[in-house]
Structure 1
Amino acid sequence: MAFDAEDELIADRPVSKPVMLRNWQQVVEKVDFAFQPIVSPHTGHIFGYEALLRRWEDAGFTSIQALFDTAWDTGNLHSVDMLLRAKAIEKFARMPDAKRLKLFYNFDNRVVKTEDYQPGQTAALLADAGLERDTIFLEISERHDISNADYLKDILVRYRSQGFKIAIDDYGSGFAQLRALYECEPDIIKIDRFFIDGIDRDRRKELFVTQITAFAHMIAAQVVAEGVETREEFLCCRRLGCDLVQGFFIARPSIELPERTDLVQVAADIAADTRRQSDRDDDVVRSYLLDTPAIPSDINPVDILTYFQQNPDITLVPVVNPDGEPMGVVRDSEFKAFIYTPFGRELLQNPANRANIKRFLRRCPVADIRTSLSELLETFVATNALDGVILTENGRYLGVLDQSALLRAVNERNTLNARDENPLTRLPGNSAIYRYAAHALSQPRKRRFAVYFDFDNFKPFNDRYGFRQGDRAILLFKDILGKALSQNDWFVGHIGGDDFFAYVQSVDFEVAVEAVQRAQAMFDAQIKSFYDQETRDRGYLIGKGRDNQVTKFDLMSVSAALVRIPPERTDITLDHISVEAAKLKAIAKNSINRFASGLYDAPCAPLPISGK
């Protein structure tokens, strides 16, 4: 036990309120903080770290909650929390480039109910550590009842007035109501691990996260997906629009301070591997981005009027903090309306108001530049974002995308996609496949596989049931590929007719094979419904072969040829792989399971580049 007997502390049972603990300082000296990074799923860039209490057992507690509950029951919660904040801030400040990062600190919202609560102490701790006030995000856990909107708003007002950021932790786990979040507008909503666990295989969880993400963006808040433990969960959260991710897949919490704090390599590698459609959207968005100059948060309000006078075409101006991070916007109409009120100009010129820009600041949706245009469009629709969306890169202000610019960008993206996609399936066509393969094959990877799919007995089916039914069979397989290959980030293209192409990297050979054969099995099971009952019962189709003779044809199936691409080689092209795949397809069509794989190991002789 960490205490002397005279202190009467029993950590695993309630302690009566009159008991005063005289050595909480010893408790704080025994515990420690581990830090877990919170990163952008688009780049792997580290946004900040969450401080997680560790070694509470050394102080005689059975859990973190037991420590805080004991402090609350004995009337020491505020003083204990301030000691812990001081320790977390001091340790965080020793990180490399700490001034650029954000600190997420779990805040027990019962603190504001304590008799000795005094505002301003956290600001002093940050100042002593050489950090700005907006460095810290105070995480209010939904596990304590925050459904009372007025109570939550009181907490937010208290801390926002001091310049701090607020995050709602464990969202979806407890008592919170949408009304409380809507009225209080937190800066970040962290989605509880329960909804992230297996999200790539659970449509209901996916729908929940999609809706919460849309709601968060509507109130200009960012979303953190907590507890991401697999590559598949990571990719799914990114696809659903989560702004940031956190979990064991990215990095485990560590008591040791990190040597680098710019990015997490595993997330950066995945972002580089999977940057396909987002790259195209990125390029289009950048071309339409309004490079509206931002103003600093400490600007003299009088100078804002000068700004609008010098830029008459600008109707709103973004405001950024000293680190270049967006805080919101100032609208020209609202600012001038204040000026023209009685004594408005005099109030603006009053020295006491010169540093107060908050009265004019309005929240605005914020998104990373690599967010897809589809997600940006959804944000516009959901939020009725008349001001537009502020776009950032690695958390720093980049520009503004207004409604007109967004519509032009979406139109250009759709035009570009139409040129590159198959008109039936809307999958990437030959040009897009070659462009993607050229980039992917130029990047050395230890594990990478290309797969060619080809229908068996497609022509007899088409002759018997017609081209419309043949198109439906092709669309069926397109949908099957989307489901069977969804657990890894596969690229899927439609070469034409009944030929499909797929590519994946950074997965094991067995995983790739299992996904391909799952697609084949799903097609075998579902294509039967496309035949008439008599043919299904018979198990084969009677039709004419190429020699015009009546022949029995097995029910349609799909053959697959998987080419294992040698690691580290960058001299292989899609044409080289196609030659190897043609050999494997012949083997697959004559095998029982219609599958064949092989390693491309031939030297790369020059081949003409086709498919343009």
Structure 2
Amino acid sequence: MAHNADTAVTTNRPTAQPVVLRNWQQVVDKVDFAFQPIVSPHTGHVFGYEALLRCWDSAGFASIQALFDTAWETGNLHSVDMMLREKAIKKFARLPGATRLKLFYNFDNRVIKTEDYQPGQTAKLLSDAGLERDTIFLEISERHDISNAQYLQDILVRYRSQGFKIAIDDYGSGFAQLRAIYECEPDIIKIDRFFIDGIDRDRRKELFVTQINAFAHMIAAQVVAEGVETREEFLCCRRLGCDLVQGFFLAHPSIELPEQTDTIKIAADLAADNRRQTERDDDVVRSYLLDTPALPSDINPVDILTYFQHNPDISLVPVVNQNGEPLGVVRDSEFKSFIYTPFGRELLQNPANRTNIKRFLRRCPVADIRTSLSELLETFVNTNAIDGVILTENGRYLGVLDQSALLHAVNERNTLNARDENPLTRLPGNSAIYRYAANALSNTRKRRFAVYFDFDNFKPFNDRYGFRQGDRAILLFKDILGKVLSQNDWFVGHIGGDDFFAYVQSVDFEEAIAAVKRVQSMFDEQIKSFYDAETREAGYLTGKGRDGIEARFDLMSVSAAMVRIPPERSDITLDHISIAAAKLKATAKSSPTRFASACYEMPGTNDEIAQIPA
């Protein structure tokens, strides 16, 4: 099939005389490959490495593209590319744990138009290096014209028939049409850096990435966010559902091979912080996960029939490779339909078909076990995933979540959350706040901050405009907290009434203060619309205070008391912080900025909080 596809593509290579091959060997000897990790934002686990060409200037070229263009124009592109692939694969094989990692190799799709193109050479290179065929992801850049669905299909047929994976690189930067991607179903879509740069501050980019995630999961592809350079971009990409991330924030490309390839520390630390907040979803999903035994990809198809006969309640079975990574599913209905066709059993027992499971394999959405239930539910809706979703842990098959299990899991999560939520704002209530704080405070961090928010002049407002309008003011503040603090992974809870709690770690002190003050200023501006025009113009209203005495009250605002928690202490509790914050709130309410911050000191000393100027 691959040979026939080769002849179907016309060759329009320039007819320039080839350069002497040994000169190209000298070029290949001078260049090198740097490796940059591609990481799960849910765990910090390293999925694979992209091989990036380096030292091309030492070989006499102005850019990487110039090297490949010259090879193409002189008729040597295929030979040069194969020498480079060999070099990249050999170096990749020296990585610790290379057999469980994936190699992303940038593939110039003009290679298949060369006259000397021959399938099978990459498979031999991988075999010689002790690697399986599905180790490599061939990255097709959208910067070259791949808008022709048939042309892209030809590429996919060629390489998928050899057992390789395909990734669309630089998605959103060039020529590709959604139809071409939809019809050809790549294994991975890498979103171009342009859409990741500043995504935490750009709503349009956020919407674009959200839609690409939904589209990719609909065709059972994974998404890599390329060029992640800041903590905020990392957290935003994780929140939007990107499966993998890559960029300077995690690691720069390095020619030197890393000593370990299990996890990237900065991503693992952020993932650990997030797990403490989402552990309830994780626990609920695990309790409803269907532990359906998976089949190996080299199984004899005859044994699949035996499997379904022994497991009549299973309607589909996942198929995994030698590393336990899911490849897709085999549906009971389709498999039996094939058997019941004329000569179906005979074809199944034919020795030529006994090791070929591909004809029965169907793609299925895949998600990490730590994906939130909300995201899993969205995947079901967007993909019409009648089979369910395969769940993995560190890339390995874990189980299946079908529609019934998902609905039960969502219902249980909602029931559990309702017990701990504030009924008005649906934010975590006191029990959830204490549970979160106990986990967070027991783990030392270099930078940790707890903030208590309290409304000013809320009672006079409530007396004048009624409790319903007071509830709307509280909901306004809840929305502002969500908009400002979600980008930095704050935990936000509603203590009750007009009191709120927030906690963040691993951000700078100045950054934490800036976020709190932004919350205050946004509330100051937006709450004005809740007053009548006359009161807004006057800047105050007249009413009775808590002492029952008639007085003038300024428009409503919010005071904030921020406690800075010592990094080395693991014995501080929420009760300790509450006592310190109560003292700070009095200072904040009397301050023109309505803000006060302090370092928490040892309980029982003369001064339990060391004041910091607001």
CA contact (8 A) 2:95 2:257 kept: yes
Q: Cα distance, 1:604 vs. partner? A: 7.0
The corresponding residue for 1:361 is: 361
The corresponding residue for 1:506 is: 506
CA contact (8 A) 1:572 1:604 kept: no
The corresponding residue for 1:6 is: none
User: Could you tell me which amino acid in structure 2 is paired with residue 531 of structure 1?
Assistant: Y
Is the counterpart of residue 574 in structure 1 residue 585 in structure 2? no
**Whole-angstrom CA distance in 2 between matches of 1:362 and 1:443:** 44
The corresponding residue for 2:532 is: 532
**Whole-angstrom CA distance in 2 between matches of 1:603 and 1:557:** 31
Greater CA drift, 477-486 or 431-440? 477-486
The corresponding residue for 1:177 is: 177
Q: Cα distance, 1:316 vs. partner? A: 0.5
For each residue in 1:535-572, what CA deviation from the matched residue of structure 2 results, as whole angstroms up to 9, or x when unmatched?
11111111122343321111111111000111110110
User: Could you tell me which amino acid in structure 2 is paired with residue 600 of structure 1?
Assistant: Y
For each residue in 1:443-470, what CA deviation from the matched residue of structure 2 results, as whole angstroms up to 9, or x when unmatched?
0111100000000110000000100111
Greater CA drift, 19-28 or 371-380? 19-28
**Whole-angstrom CA distance in 2 between matches of 1:511 and 1:546:** 35
User: Could you tell me which amino acid in structure 2 is paired with residue 117 of structure 1?
Assistant: Y
**Whole-angstrom CA distance in 2 between matches of 1:364 and 1:479:** 36
**Whole-angstrom CA distance in 1 between matches of 2:346 and 2:242:** 44
Q: Cα distance, 1:260 vs. partner? A: 0.1
Task: Give 1:129-278 correspondences, 5 Å limit.
Answer: 129-278=129-278
The corresponding residue for 2:519 is: 519
**Whole-angstrom CA distance in 2 between matches of 1:462 and 1:400:** 51
Task: Give 1:405-424 correspondences, 5 Å limit.
Answer: 405-424=405-424
**Whole-angstrom CA distance in 1 between matches of 2:536 and 2:350:** 86
Q: Cα distance, 1:277 vs. partner? A: 4.2
**Whole-angstrom CA distance in 2 between matches of 1:35 and 1:217:** 27
**Whole-angstrom CA distance in 2 between matches of 1:165 and 1:266:** 28
Task: Give 1:397-546 correspondences, 5 Å limit.
Answer: 397-546=397-546
The corresponding residue for 2:351 is: 351
The corresponding residue for 1:396 is: 396
**Whole-angstrom CA distance in 2 between matches of 1:35 and 1:42:** 21
Give aligned pairs, total: 592
The corresponding residue for 2:19 is: 20
CA contact (8 A) 1:571 1:604 kept: no
**Whole-angstrom CA distance in 1 between matches of 2:602 and 2:52:** 53
CA contact (8 A) 2:459 2:546 kept: no
The corresponding residue for 2:327 is: 327
Q: Cα distance, 1:501 vs. partner? A: 0.3
For each residue in 1:244-288, what CA deviation from the matched residue of structure 2 results, as whole angstroms up to 9, or x when unmatched?
000000100000000000000000001111224421111000000
Is the counterpart of residue 66 in structure 1 residue 66 in structure 2? yes
The corresponding residue for 2:90 is: 90
Distance 1:579 1:378, change over 3 A: same
CA contact (8 A) 1:21 1:74 kept: no
Please list every run of at least 4 consecutive aligned residues from structure 1 whose deviation after the TM superposition is greater than 6 angstroms.
Answer: none
User: Could you tell me which amino acid in structure 1 is paired with residue 193 of structure 2?
Assistant: R
**Whole-angstrom CA distance in 2 between matches of 1:181 and 1:363:** 15
For each residue in 1:374-429, what CA deviation from the matched residue of structure 2 results, as whole angstroms up to 9, or x when unmatched?
11111111111111000000000000000000000000011111111111111111
CA contact (8 A) 1:576 1:604 kept: no
User: Could you tell me which amino acid in structure 2 is paired with residue 262 of structure 1?
Assistant: D
The 3-state SS of whatever aligns with 1:56 is coil
**Whole-angstrom CA distance in 1 between matches of 2:19 and 2:561:** 73
Q: Cα distance, 1:480 vs. partner? A: 1.1
**Whole-angstrom CA distance in 1 between matches of 2:545 and 2:33:** 73
Q: TM-score, normalised by structure 2?
A: 0.95
**Whole-angstrom CA distance in 1 between matches of 2:357 and 2:341:** 17
**Whole-angstrom CA distance in 2 between matches of 1:549 and 1:393:** 62
CA contact (8 A) 2:330 2:362 kept: yes
The 3-state SS of whatever aligns with 1:487 is helix
Q: Cα distance, 1:602 vs. partner? A: 2.2
For each residue in 1:130-154, what CA deviation from the matched residue of structure 2 results, as whole angstroms up to 9, or x when unmatched?
0000000000000000000000000
The corresponding residue for 2:8 is: none
The 3-state SS of whatever aligns with 2:563 is strand
The corresponding residue for 1:312 is: 312
CA contact (8 A) 2:545 2:551 kept: yes
The corresponding residue for 2:377 is: 377
Q: Cα distance, 1:15 vs. partner? A: 9.7
CA contact (8 A) 2:276 2:439 kept: no
Distance 1:232 1:35, change over 3 A: same
User: Could you tell me which amino acid in structure 1 is paired with residue 284 of structure 2?
Assistant: V
**Whole-angstrom CA distance in 1 between matches of 2:519 and 2:356:** 61
The corresponding residue for 1:281 is: 281
CA contact (8 A) 1:324 1:397 kept: yes
The corresponding residue for 2:565 is: 565
Q: Cα distance, 1:235 vs. partner? A: 0.5
User: Could you tell me which amino acid in structure 2 is paired with residue 331 of structure 1?
Assistant: R
**Whole-angstrom CA distance in 1 between matches of 2:296 and 2:30:** 42
For each residue in 1:81-108, what CA deviation from the matched residue of structure 2 results, as whole angstroms up to 9, or x when unmatched?
0000000000000011100100000000
Q: Cα distance, 1:19 vs. partner? A: 4.8
User: Could you tell me which amino acid in structure 2 is paired with residue 18 of structure 1?
Assistant: Q
**Whole-angstrom CA distance in 2 between matches of 1:353 and 1:148:** 33
User: Could you tell me which amino acid in structure 1 is paired with residue 569 of structure 2?
Assistant: R
User: Could you tell me which amino acid in structure 1 is paired with residue 348 of structure 2?
Assistant: L
Q: Cα distance, 1:16 vs. partner? A: 7.6
User: Could you tell me which amino acid in structure 1 is paired with residue 469 of structure 2?
Assistant: Q
CA contact (8 A) 1:142 1:173 kept: yes
Structure 2, gaps ≥5 residues long: 1-12, 606-614
Structure 1, gaps ≥5 residues long: 1-13, 606-612
The 3-state SS of whatever aligns with 1:486 is helix
User: Could you tell me which amino acid in structure 2 is paired with residue 17 of structure 1?
Assistant: A
- Percent identity (aligned): 86
**Whole-angstrom CA distance in 1 between matches of 2:55 and 2:15:** 25
CA contact (8 A) 1:15 1:70 kept: no
**Whole-angstrom CA distance in 2 between matches of 1:550 and 1:604:** 40
Q: TM-score, normalised by structure 1?
A: 0.96
User: Could you tell me which amino acid in structure 1 is paired with residue 471 of structure 2?
Assistant: D
**Whole-angstrom CA distance in 1 between matches of 2:384 and 2:519:** 40
Distance 1:480 1:108, change over 3 A: same
The 3-state SS of whatever aligns with 2:50 is strand
Distance 1:159 1:459, change over 3 A: same
CA contact (8 A) 1:134 1:164 kept: yes
**Whole-angstrom CA distance in 1 between matches of 2:14 and 2:405:** 61
